[in-house]
Amino acid sequence: MMGRRRWTVGVDFGGTNVKVGLVGPDGHVVGRRVVSSGQREDPTRFIEDVGKAAEELTRAVGARPSQLLGLGVGAPGPVDVERGVVRSLVNVPGWEAVPLRRRLERRVRCRCAVDNDANLFALGEWRFGAGRGFRHLVGMTLGTGVGGGLILNGILHRGTTWAAGEIGHMVVHPAGPRCGCGGRGCLEAYVGTAAILRMARRAIRQSTGPLRTLAAQAGGRMTPALIHQAARRGDAAAQQIWAEVGCWLGVAMANLVKLLGPDLIVIGGGVARAWRWFSPSMLRTVRGQAQRFMAEEVRVVQGRLGDDAAMVGAAVLVWDTNR
């Protein structure tokens, strides 16, 4: 029976779109769909879109929907994992206390599981990516928000509220800027996309280099990718922004190293593409702030699964969840 049910669907409810992938038993994504993100506020529509994508993907490999082992979802917000309820989503209204697991199971007629997307990033990288074979892993995702997932002693650590590992909301400066979570001086308020763009808008006033040119070409619409490109073209202001991002990441990371003693920290998410520009100051800060013997033990690397990590992690979640 198990042999025939070999496909699992992984869903990554991301900042800009919803990605659905069909994952094989070896963790490879064999098919992908991007579901329209226009109706994200409506859980009913989301469930229908995901259900349809799951059917299409299953059909594409010549399998029947009844051969699906299960479906896992990574949601960008706190999730009650035991009950399968999404408490709320960051920046998406209409998702208060949605019993997503139960409603999905009714639609796709197989076992479903739901967790926070950054937890699933960590789980995916740990099982099939850069984190293979490590015992204590911290996963960090850099994008619109800054997410975190903790694998401690080989177990995804969620804490009493299921929301442990909110690295983006660790306070790195108590008198710092306001954060979307209501707190002040969170890591995300320094290295989230909004903070990076704010720095760029400030820098551009003094810039006469590539940052200004690229921004003008883009009609003034700035993105982290554009600031990354400017850095590559030698724009000193853009490089300085990334150096500053690296410093704040390093502060948070030094605290994580001291608190948890991980053997690996894996960084992913769209903003992590600028790795080359923020990692030197990040690693320097970790070495400067954490005790030497601890800082020397931890490896800090980029994720290996790219944009697939949370989808693959969602499949792992289904496999690891026994109900």
- Minimum CB–partner distance for residue 120 and Zn ion (Å): 20
Query: Which two three-digit tokens encode residue 314?
Result: 């969602």
For residue 22, how many other CB atoms are within 10 A of its CB? Answer: 25
- Minimum CB–partner distance for residue 181 and Zn ion (Å): 3
- Minimum CB–partner distance for residue 194 and Zn ion (Å): 12
Q: Which is nearer to Zn ion, 183 or 280 (CB)?
A: 183
Q: Which is nearer to Zn ion, 183 or 209 (CB)?
A: 183
Query: Which two three-digit tokens encode residue 24?
Result: 């094989």
What amino acid occupies position 255? N
- Minimum CB–partner distance for residue 170 and Zn ion (Å): 8
- Minimum CB–partner distance for residue 78 and Zn ion (Å): 13
Q: Which is nearer to Zn ion, 35 or 167 (CB)?
A: 167
**Which ranges in the chain belong to alpha helices (H)?**
43-60, 100-108, 117-128, 188-191, 193-204, 210-217, 224-232, 236-260, 275-289, 292-297, 309-320
- Please give the Cα distance from 226 to 232 (Å, whole number): 10
- Minimum CB–partner distance for residue 171 and Zn ion (Å): 8
Q: Which is nearer to Zn ion, 11 or 75 (CB)?
A: 75
Contact residues for Zn ion, defined by CB under 5 A: 169, 179, 181, 183, 186
Contact 23, 4 (CB under 8 A): no
- Please give the Cα distance from 18 to 91 (Å, whole number): 14
Q: Which is nearer to Zn ion, 131 or 147 (CB)?
A: 147
Q: Which is nearer to Zn ion, 24 or 183 (CB)?
A: 183
For residue 157, how many other CB atoms are within 10 A of its CB? Answer: 15
Reduced to 3 states (helix: H, G, I; strand: E, B; else coil), residue 54 is: helix
